[in-house]
Amino acid sequence: MTREVKLNELTELLTDAEYPLEVETARSQFDDVELLYADGSEPLVDVLSRTESSTFESAEDAQTSIFNVVPVEGVGEPGQSEGEG
Can you give the pLDDT at residue 70? 93
Is 55 in contact with 20 (CB distance < 8 Å)? yes
Angle at alpha carbon of residue 36, lines to 30 and 39, rounded to 5°: 145
Judged against a pLDDT cut of 60, whether residue 84 lies above it is answered with no
pLDDT, tens digit (0-9, with 9 covering 90-100), for 31-54: 999 999 988 999 999 999 999 999
